Amino acid sequence: MQSVLRGIAVLACPIGMWLMMRGQRKNPSGVSSADQVAQLRAEVERLKTERAKGAR
């Protein structure tokens, strides 16, 4: 019985890591990396503008 539990424990880590990596490869939002970067840059510019207006 201990050997079965030990075997399950040994397999749990690689299988869990495989499942996590598999989930990261998919892009559920359907937005490309370049689009995400463009959106983030636009958000940064918007925040800079708001901050500059608030500092006056």
CA-to-CA distance for 18 and 35, rounded, in angstroms?
Answer: 27
- Residue 47 tokens read as 């925040």
Q: Where are the domains of the chain?
A: 2-55
Q: What is the per-residue pLDDT for 33?
A: 81
CA-to-CA distance for 30 and 4, rounded, in angstroms?
Answer: 42
pLDDT mean over 34-55? 91
pLDDT in tens, 1-40: 888 888 888 888 888 888 888 766 666 666 778 888 999 9
